[in-house]
Amino acid sequence: MAAATDDAGDSNEMIRVVSSDGEHFEMPEAAANLSLVLRHMIEDDCADAAGIPLAVVAAKPLAKIVDYCTKHAAKSSGLTIEEAEELKRFDAEFIEVDTDMLYDLLVAADFMGVEGLSKLAVQRTADLIKGKTPEQNRETFGIVNDFTPEEEEEICKENEWAFQITKPPSRLC
């Protein structure tokens, strides 16, 4: 599966990478350079026809990452305002994923050292958490509440600032 082999790289060499479950991907060298790990591999002459094995990245997130890097590498230097906005829109759409994929992207981007994507995934996670009650967040991320009621009460008391309701007592109305 060659997820992204568009004309972004023009004269650039194509870099092959292999996911943990054995799928092969190709991307232009400029795109691969966005990943710190791949860049170092290329610099050390470790990129050959067999492809660079990425032992902890599965095919699904790797396809997304190749997609991301190819897009960003094609538009890396001398952005016009429109192009920057288009890239922003691309990012916003790109990160609209379920929590499973988000988790995979967080780990994979951090592992591969793709700084922009790492930031994007972290921000998306934060956005999902922001302004929600713990109950809502547990539901979103499938977190199991392992507190005893006493412990929960204690922790809520300690962090009361987070739970100060902004509904008024009746006499203010």
Question: Which stretches of the chain bind other proteins, using CB under 8 A?
Answer: 18-23, 37, 40-41, 44, 46, 50-53, 55-56, 58, 99-100, 103, 106-107, 110-111, 118, 122-123, 125-126, 129-134, 137-138, 141-147, 151-152, 154-164, 166-169, 171-173
The minimum distance between CB 125 and other proteins, in angstroms, equals 5
Rg of the chain, C-alpha, whole Å: 21
Beta bridge partners of 27: 15
Residue among 81 and 144 whose Cβ is closer to other proteins: 144
Residue among 87 and 106 whose Cβ is closer to other proteins: 106
The minimum distance between CB 83 and other proteins, in angstroms, equals 23
End-to-end C-alpha distance for the chain, whole angstroms: 62
Residue among 6 and 48 whose Cβ is closer to other proteins: 48
The minimum distance between CB 70 and other proteins, in angstroms, equals 22
Q: CA 79, CA 71: separation in Å to the nearest integer?
A: 13
Residue among 11 and 144 whose Cβ is closer to other proteins: 144
The minimum distance between CB 2 and other proteins, in angstroms, equals 16
Which residue from 31, 34, 58, 60 is spatially nearest to 115, judged by alpha carbons? 34
24 exposure class (CB count in 10 Å sphere: 0-12, 13-18, 19+): middle
Q: CA 59, CA 19: separation in Å to the nearest integer?
A: 5
Residue among 8 and 63 whose Cβ is closer to other proteins: 63
The minimum distance between CB 170 and other proteins, in angstroms, equals 11
Q: CA 36, CA 113: separation in Å to the nearest integer?
A: 5
Close Cβ partners of 158 (under 8 Å, ≥ 6 residues apart): none
